[in-house]
Structure 1
């Protein structure tokens, strides 16, 4: 069963929990004026419609109207809505579940959580809706472009115990990737570098200095012009595996970000990034038993 949490005054709707916002300092004549300035992409008619439906409320659950006074420090709740959302035609698969965890085999292209132009078509929303589990929370994350094993917590009481495993790097994650042949290296080997945020917010880059990222790289099999590599990251930097292989001159097949960010392909899902989170291993902090979860997908 999933734990229940009733702090939010609006219920989960279609697998989506309400968003909330603490009202900042400022002078606005009413709530509608503030919302229009804060979210210019949402029209006055849309906000009036949401408010008429009782879907914009304060922390006590009182419905807010367009002319409700603006009060600094108040917390408001509302639902994110998108007029059009691209369907993701790939399905997740549940590999394991018990009272504490749900382990999922994520497909390529499916975002983990609601953000940007995806709300319903995200792994978290799909699971919440299908399992009726409002408190489901990912313990770690995969890029939208990456497929494979990812773990969710379904109990608030035990969530910290599992999260701390990742924080202490006591989880062994194994990935597989298709990338060009790397000549002149003995496998396996360890690649280290210093990774920092790039000039574009969604990218990472390497710079000189003390390494803060480390990956073990080995070859599983040769496939003509490409190899199937096994990658074991000892750190969890954003896009770490993609940056490391691109820096070695062997960018992962179909990587649209590294070494060069290509024009956005929007809804083109014909060329998935050839990166798979193959397996996760750890010692369960509650039972002390070894855990091993493995993707059923292949590259």
Structure 2
């Protein structure tokens, strides 16, 4: 893995800009699959995961560099003392431009590996704000207050704004040129080509306070 993916490193933490398509940690069924934990555990690093991003999600991913940092930062995540911001390109537009989604989430019994809104699930809260809109799409800034599996993806789908590329939760397979503007390109193939062919979710900021130090990591959006 290229070293230019590294956003920050000291004796306590390593923060990277994880590309889409890379697992955060080892696959329990296939530990040989490439993952961020293994890719960056080089040059004497002994990395320990404190959180994870979905495989298709890009952006800030943080690892601890020692057991003490692992315990402390993991606890910060558990106690909701870590700020996490995301950007998502979604279908449609929320009825309210800025608000909070407060819907409990549970594992989907009929679809293993997926989540669903369920009244007996775990409490889950997500803040969102519309940053931009074009045709039938919008760009949302999203801040999860809890850290449930697939939380952002399920919550946004629940308000009628599934994330582009998220086939599991109601999104289409991607975003095409024709989806956002009237194309003047010469061929049908060019105008219908994908600008984005992945889950359009990016972790652009993560911050926390540890050992009398404010850590703040930011990751630019990947190029289309």
Residue pairs, 1:208-219, within 5 angstroms = 208-209=119-120, 212-219=123-130
* Residues 131 and 296 of structure 1, relative CA distance in 2, 3 Å threshold: farther
Asked which structure has the greater RCO (Cα within 8 Å, sep 6+), the reply is 2
Contact 2:86 2:142 in 1 (8 A): yes
Q: 1:293 aligns with which of 217, 221, 224?
A: 217
Contact 2:18 2:36 in 1 (8 A): yes
CA distance in 2, matches of 1:194, 1:225: 28
1:105 corresponds in structure 2 to 17
2:101 corresponds in structure 1 to 191
Q: Which runs of 4+ in 1 moved over 6 A?
A: 89-92
CA distance in 1, matches of 2:172, 2:131: 28
Q: CA deviation at 1:193?
A: 0.5
Residue ranges of structure 1 left out of the alignment (5+ in a row): 1-88, 263-269
Contact 2:85 2:205 in 1 (8 A): yes
State the Cα deviation string for residues 168-191 of structure 1 (Å, max 9, x = none).
110010010000232532x21011
1:271 corresponds in structure 2 to 197
Number of aligned residues: 199
**2:97 maps to 1:173:** no
Residue pairs, 1:1-299, within 5 angstroms = 93-115=5-27, 116-117=29-30, 119-128=32-41, 130-133=42-45, 135-185=46-96, 187-199=97-109, 200-209=111-120, 212-259=123-170, 271-284=197-210, 286=211, 288-298=212-222
CA distance in 2, matches of 1:124, 1:149: 13
The more displaced of 171-180 and 119-128 is 119-128
Residue ranges of structure 2 left out of the alignment (5+ in a row): 174-195
CA distance in 1, matches of 2:3, 2:163: 23
Q: Which has the larger radius of gyration?
A: 1
Query: What is the TM-score with the length of structure 1 in the denominator?
Result: 0.61
| Higher percent of residues as strand | 2
Query: What is the TM-score with the length of structure 2 in the denominator?
Result: 0.81
